């Protein structure tokens, strides 16, 4: 490992330590309820708000995971997606929405471990990580990676897969085209924006394998659909999807 790489990694570690120290030395208000954070609270969000997380529970659509549906939802019954099943841990609402925003857009990497623990503690019984051959995070373009400094889906995938002992592939599904941020677009524009954005490299690695795709938030499903469609060009045996959050209304 070169001195430059070591220096960058050390700088990142020191920044994380500094941010954590500042939070505890200078108590702030919870970003959700605006109550003052206690000494024992997690950074930025109080313990009470963490406990109020809205986790997804069955029944849900057997395929797409739409809440409060037994069997198949109307959409999947008529035109099922190309993945086997999609599961999400909690609703993208209040506490989790704020936590993901802090992690993803304000670059508070201190949240990564909290979110990984949350996922590992609430993985649905029909989505055992150990059942897959590989875990693949939804990639971001190298330009956005330089801007943000990390891919949130990769950090989540690493933490989830490590517990199960499953390899993570980060250079097999790649983002070959830089796109406008999906969060700024409506559902129709999202689908058009993401077309042709992904590419599979070294397809032989995943041919005939069981794959689990990881992302942070499921909204309209446009990104997942495009990524899964591209992965099928490598002829895997199975593709399922797990996301940390799911919006209330796509």
> Tell me: the pLDDT tens digits for 96-128?
999 999 999 999 998 999 999 999 999 999 999
> Tell me: the pLDDT tens digits for 203-240?
999 999 999 999 999 999 999 999 999 999 999 999 99
> Tell me: the pLDDT tens digits for 124-146?
999 999 999 999 999 999 999 99
Q: Does domain 53-246 have CATH number 2.60.40?
A: no
239: closest CA among 158, 151, 136?
Answer: 136
Question: What is the pLDDT, as a whole number, of residue 39?
Answer: 66
For CATH 3.40.50, the residue range(s) in the chain are: 53-246
Question: What is the pLDDT, as a whole number, of residue 3?
Answer: 59
Q: Which residues contact 84 (CB under 8 A, 6 or more apart)?
A: 63, 238, 239, 240
> Tell me: the pLDDT tens digits for 176-213?
988 777 776 777 777 777 899 999 999 999 999 999 99
pTM value is 0.86
Instruction: Quote the CA–CA distance of 207 and 86 in Å, as a whole number.
Output: 21
CA 150 to each of CA 22, 43, 88, 113: distance values in angstroms, whole numbers, following the listed order: 22, 20, 22, 14
Question: What is the pLDDT, as a whole number, of residue 180?
Answer: 74
């Amino acid at each position: 490992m070169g001195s430059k790489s070591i220096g960058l990694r050390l700088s990142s570690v020191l920044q994380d330590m500094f941010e954590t120290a500042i939070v505890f030395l200078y108590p702030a208000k919870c970003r959700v309820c605006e109550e003052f954070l206690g000494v024992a609270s997690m950074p930025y969000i109080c313990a009470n708000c963490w406990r109020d997380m809205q986790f997804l529970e069955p029944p849900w659509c057997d395929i797409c995971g739409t809440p409060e549906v037994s069997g198949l939802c109307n959409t999947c019954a008529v035109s099922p997606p190309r993945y086997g099943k999609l599961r999400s841990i909690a609703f993208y609402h209040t506490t989790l929405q704020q936590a993901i925003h802090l992690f993803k857009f304000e670059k508070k990497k201190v949240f990564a471990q909290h979110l990984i623990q949350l996922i590992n503690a609430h993985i649905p019984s029909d989505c055992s990580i150990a059942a897959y051959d590989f875990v693949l995070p939804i990639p971001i373009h190298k330009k956005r990676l330089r801007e943000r400094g990390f891919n949130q889906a990769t950090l989540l995938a690493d933490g989830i897969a490590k517990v199960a002992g499953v390899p993570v592939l980060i250079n097999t599904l790649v983002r070959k085209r830089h796109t406008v941020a999906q969060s700024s677009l409506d559902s129709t524009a999202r689908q058009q924006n993401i077309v042709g954005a992904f590419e599979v490299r070294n397809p032989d690695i995943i041919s005939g394998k069981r794959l689990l795709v990881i992302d942070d938030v499921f909204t309209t499903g446009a990104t997942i659909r495009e990524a899964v469609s591209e992965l099928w060009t490598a002829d895997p045996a199975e593709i399922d999807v797990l996301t940390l959050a799911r919006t209330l209304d796509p």
